[in-house]
A and B are shown apart, each in its own frame.
Chain A
Amino acid sequence: MDAKHDVLVIGAGCAGMRAAIEAHDAGADVAIISKLHPTRSHSGAAEGGINAALGNAAEDSPEIHAFDTVKGSDYLGDQDSIEIFTREAPGDIYQLEQWGCVFSRGEDGRLAQRPFGAAGSPRTVYAADITGHVLIQVLYEQLVKRDIEVYEEYFAWQLVVHQDRCQGVIAWDLLHGGLKAVGGKTVVLATGGVGRLYRATTNAYACTGDGMSMALRAGLPLKDIEFMQFHPTTMYPSGILITEGCRGEGGILRNSEGERFMERYAPTAKDLASRDVVSRSEQTEIDEGRGINGSVLLDLTHLGAERILTRLPGSRELAMVYAGVDPIHEPIPVRPGAHYHMGGVETDTNGLTELTGLYAAGEVACVSVHGANRLGGNSLMETITFGRRAGRAAAEWALANTTVEVPASATRDAERELKALLARSEGERPWRIRDELGQTMLENFGVFRREDQMQKQIGIIESLRERYPSVIVEDKGEVFNSDLTQVIELGYLLDIAACMLQAGLARKESRGAHSRPHDYPTRDDESFMKHSITRWADGAPELSYKEVRFTKYLPEERKY
């Protein structure tokens, strides 16, 4: 074992850093391992904001926030999780502000709050359109303040499960080379999502489902993994995100005829309807021939230069660099792109998975507050609130238990596996498999899902998985071998894709982000108001179901 700690956090985005800070403050010896420097984490790309019922802009309460979230989840969210979430969110926001987070201010000098999709009150706290960036900065500042150890550019590869407990991780040291065994009395997964499964995605290159796949391979279940949120405003062709804040500020979606088409699909909420509703409306417009180059238009021109420059300067720059348009003068071409995974490693409300010693928080986890569809602004809040709770629980367990052991066999097995991977000299390069996967996932398992396409995609994934073992790593070196890590990441992607398709095919209804207009166009509460649970067994995903936890919010039809 190369090092050991009380609590080992894998991933250094908002959830990972928040967990580490909390575990440290609870008295534990904490370390983070992350394949990126913490400030490079993809939480930093979040633009629009973070939801908490502060009531600064209009009357609001945790109960209204909970109702909006339950409804937004299409009644698949676990209501006890959601109630904890909305109740604790305001305190977490005040804490971030007191740590120095540079949030935007309202006229009265209090934290400003903007309206966001499907929210009953303007409750999204923000920092212009770089909210994730300022959160990442403030959390990293607090990490530095506490002198918390970070194994930077360590690539987590395998969880160490020993004596029915998770006791650490085997990682590849990117900068210096070599496998390192890092022990932890408890381990917190905070590795984020898996948007890289799709050709059009807002996600960074790093979002390859590492934690989900590691947990799956360690025998843990993934919950509601078929639910991938498509963000309605990702730029064509790059998939780069244009924040929902643009519509919050008054931006309007138009089709090729200039029509504000959302008036037809969601007469009340219009452009600020829930994300799944807007994505489906856009896709319908595009499919029915009222798109432009497979896109629709996000029109901000009527907002005026000053509003765009003060409230949405980052979005303007993104549009100028990646789409070649200045939104002050012309609309931005946008289409739905893979954005956020509602599903993930199943946890309880303290982030604990079914394996002793293993916790998860943030996008990698499914706790589940988002159910079948996440509301904009809820994911940043989830990383903070449940990152904190997971960090606290992980520290408490670690401090009450004394031993940590990574058996030598775990390292030896990993080394053997690595050697074999590097020794392979004949085969194909990984990019073709990666690109085929991304393209076909978008075509066959995107905004709309059809039985025949899903069947076809299952076959495609099987054949890609058959090709994967012959993929070659060209770089045989020790130092910054990103060729090696990209091959391992591709393996993670293929695992999660298989699980998503299996769960998606079996869910014979339309709920939230899972939409089957051709065969099962409506929600079927009787058969499917339950969580899908996917495990890996005998080389294939194995599916079962679990009840949704209710408190007081009864299912009704979702209309906006």
Chain B
Amino acid sequence: MQVALKIWRYDAKTGDKALREYELDAPEEATLLDCLDIVKDRQDGTLAYRKSCRMMICGSCGMRMDGAAVLACKVRMYDIASAGQVPVISAMGNLPVIKDLVVDMDPFWAKFKAMKPYLQPGYDQPEDGREHVISQERMNVIHKESLCINCGCCVSECNAWDAEPEFLGPQALAKGMRFVGDPRDAAKVERLDAYSGEHGIWECTRCYFCNERCPKGVDPRDAIAKLGAEAMKEGIDKDMGAKHANWFVTSAKTTGWLRETELVPKTQGVVSSIKEMKFAMGLLKHGKVPPPFPPHVAEGVKESRALYDLVKEQGRDGALGIVQGERALSRLEHAAGDGHASRDQADVTPGEEPTRRGGE
């Protein structure tokens, strides 16, 4: 098949940047990575990109296609080429470009290392020198986080990192959850405390781009949500983000509504809120916030309170309560319970191309 690609070439030494177009002949099963190889072999040996396993496990070939992060070895070119599209290939975002499609991964690994990404032993150490005895169900809590191949696609797309490069970022935080959720780790509370700092859990803007673009289904945003929930459970809620989230819960439990007028003081504190008074009065004047008194209680508030009690009763107020985090497991339940019909539907992960299925 005939494939055309536009590739952003970049030379960090001279700062030269150019969008070059390449046309090539590739076998029908070729991936984007195969196409880059053909360009490098036969057209331009100076093209630089990373690669190794070509089977979605080494995490080397993260790059952008038409502005969205992909693993080059995971993208089959057939549909794109047959539709006559000419995708634009560029280096990942949020990381400095070194040459063409190669980025400097140092900032990425620095965040990884900042998580103290290794098991802190000492908790329930097996006495017989053998393995810890833990149920598979318990280990499933960190199943998705342990799939991460450190490719950087999530960091490339992270809007919070773009705004604040000090943000720990989706990959590092997912790695953090991999330890927080591990029953063998002795440092859960210390970790949650450390990850709740200024550029941690609560700096995430919840845009879900990381979940969308992760090629391995790690769903880093869900991991961050689980970290937040676990932190709350441990009473680590000093950060404004935590206070903000806490107030949503309190509001819903007490009135069934969001008590907006109290949201700012509960999040930022009273002193800082006073500075916002003028702005708040303006909002009030234009009917943008409800008056604080008398408290506005929703008609069905009992339902909201019952829901709150149920979550507490079932012990689902930590990571286990994160509904998104159970997407992978719910997929399995669908498959087991209802047979084929519902599985196909439950199986589509947002951001993934639907794949051709047998029997269709």
A residues sitting closer than 8 Å to B (CB atoms) are 36-37, 39-42, 44-45, 54, 91, 93-94, 97-100, 102-106, 108-112, 127, 130, 132-134, 137, 141-142, 144-145, 175, 204-206, 237-238, 240-241, 305-306, 309-310, 314, 317-318, 320-322, 324-326, 328-330, 429-431, 473-475, 477, 479-483
Residues of A within 8 A of B135 (CB): 105, 109
Residues of A within 8 A of B59 (CB): 39-40
Q: Quick check: A318 and B48 within 8 Å, CB to CB?
A: no
Q: Quick check: B53 and A204 within 8 Å, CB to CB?
A: yes
Residues of A within 8 A of B27 (CB): 237
Residues of B within 8 A of A145 (CB): 118
Q: Which residue of B lies closest to A145 (CB)?
A: B118
Q: Quick check: B149 and A141 within 8 Å, CB to CB?
A: no
Other-chain residue from B29, B54, B76, B98 in contact with A479 (beta carbon distance below 8 A)? B98
B146 at the interface (CB under 8 A from A): yes
From 14 to 66 in chain B, residues with beta carbon under 8 angstroms from any chain A beta carbon are 27, 29, 40-42, 44-46, 48-60
Residues of A within 8 A of B155 (CB): none
- Interface window among B125-133, B260-268, B302-310: B125-133
Other-chain residue from A93, A317, A473, A474 in contact with B56 (beta carbon distance below 8 A)? A317
Q: Quick check: A480 and B99 within 8 Å, CB to CB?
A: yes
Contacts A40-B58, A133-B57 supplied; 15 other A-B pairs, CB < 8 Å: A36-B58, A37-B109, A39-B59, A45-B58, A94-B130, A109-B133, A112-B136, A144-B117, A205-B52, A310-B332, A321-B355, A322-B29, A330-B358, A429-B42, A474-B44
In the complex with contacts A45-B58, A306-B332, A321-B74, A104-B131 CB distance below 8 A: no
Q: Quick check: A98 and B126 within 8 Å, CB to CB?
A: yes
B105 at the interface (CB under 8 A from A): yes
Q: How far is the CB of B40 from chain A (nearest CB, A)?
A: 7
In the complex with contacts A479-B12, A483-B40, A99-B119 CB distance below 8 A: yes
Other-chain residue from A99, A106, A109, A130 in contact with B147 (beta carbon distance below 8 A)? A130
Q: Which residue of A lies closest to B38 (CB)?
A: A431
Residues of A within 8 A of B357 (CB): 326, 329
CA distance A401 to B49 in the complex (A): 41
Q: Which residue of B lies closest to A93 (CB)?
A: B131
Q: List 30 A-B contacts (CB under 8 A).
A: A37-B105, A45-B55, A94-B129, A98-B126, A98-B131, A98-B184, A99-B118, A99-B119, A105-B134, A109-B133, A110-B130, A110-B133, A111-B131, A130-B57, A141-B119, A144-B112, A144-B118, A205-B53, A305-B340, A306-B336, A318-B55, A321-B56, A321-B76, A322-B55, A326-B355, A330-B358, A475-B45, A479-B11, A479-B12, A483-B46
Q: How far is the CB of B338 from chain A (nearest CB, A)?
A: 10
Other-chain residue from B41, B132, B355 in contact with A97 (beta carbon distance below 8 A)? B132
Q: Which residue of B lies closest to A108 (CB)?
A: B133
Residues of A within 8 A of B147 (CB): 130, 133
In the complex with contacts A111-B131, A321-B76, A238-B29 CB distance below 8 A: yes
In the complex with contacts A105-B135, A130-B57, A321-B74, A36-B359 CB distance below 8 A: no
Other-chain residue from B13, B51, B335 in contact with A205 (beta carbon distance below 8 A)? B51
In the complex with contacts A238-B29, A479-B12, A474-B131 CB distance below 8 A: no
Q: Quick check: B182 and A204 within 8 Å, CB to CB?
A: no
Q: Quick check: B332 and A42 within 8 Å, CB to CB?
A: no
Residues of A within 8 A of B44 (CB): 474
CA distance A413 to B51 in the complex (A): 30
B350 at the interface (CB under 8 A from A): no
Other-chain residue from B53, B100, B117 in contact with A141 (beta carbon distance below 8 A)? B117
Q: Which residue of B lies closest to A483 (CB)?
A: B45
Residues of A within 8 A of B11 (CB): 479
B356 at the interface (CB under 8 A from A): yes
Interface residues on B, range: 35 or more
Q: Quick check: B332 and A98 within 8 Å, CB to CB?
A: no
Residues of B within 8 A of A314 (CB): 57
CA distance A112 to B135 in the complex (A): 11
Q: Quick check: B119 and A36 within 8 Å, CB to CB?
A: no
Other-chain residue from A127, A206, A475, A480 in contact with B98 (beta carbon distance below 8 A)? A480
Most buried by B among A98, A108, A145, A430: A98
Residues of B within 8 A of A474 (CB): 44-46
Q: Which residue of B lies closest to A434 (CB)?
A: B41
From 296 to 335 in chain B, residues with beta carbon under 8 angstroms from any chain A beta carbon are 331-332, 335
Residues of A within 8 A of B99 (CB): 477, 479-480
Q: Which residue of A lies closest to B336 (CB)?
A: A306
Q: Quick check: B52 and A204 within 8 Å, CB to CB?
A: yes
In the complex with contacts A100-B119, A102-B142, A44-B53 CB distance below 8 A: yes
B121 at the interface (CB under 8 A from A): yes
Q: Quick check: B185 and A41 within 8 Å, CB to CB?
A: no
Residues of B within 8 A of A110 (CB): 130-131, 133
Residues of A within 8 A of B343 (CB): 305
B139 at the interface (CB under 8 A from A): yes
Q: Quick check: A329 and B358 within 8 Å, CB to CB?
A: yes
CA distance A145 to B133 in the complex (A): 24
Residues of B within 8 A of A483 (CB): 40, 45-46
Q: Quick check: A134 and B146 within 8 Å, CB to CB?
A: yes
B246 at the interface (CB under 8 A from A): no
Q: How far is the CB of A338 from chain B (nearest CB, A)?
A: 15
CA distance A489 to B59 in the complex (A): 21
Q: Which residue of A lies closest to B359 (CB)?
A: A329
Q: Quick check: B118 and A473 within 8 Å, CB to CB?
A: no
CA distance A429 to B43 in the complex (A): 10
Residues of A within 8 A of B48 (CB): 475, 479-482
B113 at the interface (CB under 8 A from A): yes
CA distance A481 to B339 in the complex (A): 51
B273 at the interface (CB under 8 A from A): no
Q: Which residue of A lies closest to B71 (CB)?
A: A321
Residues of A within 8 A of B100 (CB): 480
Other-chain residue from A42, A111, A473 in contact with B58 (beta carbon distance below 8 A)? A42
Residues of B within 8 A of A41 (CB): 58
In the complex with contacts A37-B105, A97-B131, A429-B42, A45-B57 CB distance below 8 A: yes
From 335 to 360 in chain B, residues with beta carbon under 8 angstroms from any chain A beta carbon are 335-336, 339-340, 343, 355-359
CA distance A99 to B27 in the complex (A): 44
B254 at the interface (CB under 8 A from A): no
B150 at the interface (CB under 8 A from A): yes
B242 at the interface (CB under 8 A from A): no
Q: Quick check: A205 and B359 within 8 Å, CB to CB?
A: no
CA distance A305 to B102 in the complex (A): 39
From 71 to 108 in chain B, residues with beta carbon under 8 angstroms from any chain A beta carbon are 74, 76, 98-100, 102, 105
Q: Which residue of A lies closest to B45 (CB)?
A: A474
Residues of B within 8 A of A241 (CB): 55
Q: How far is the CB of A518 from chain B (nearest CB, A)?
A: 32
Q: Quick check: A137 and B146 within 8 Å, CB to CB?
A: yes
Q: How far is the CB of B116 from chain A (nearest CB, A)?
A: 8
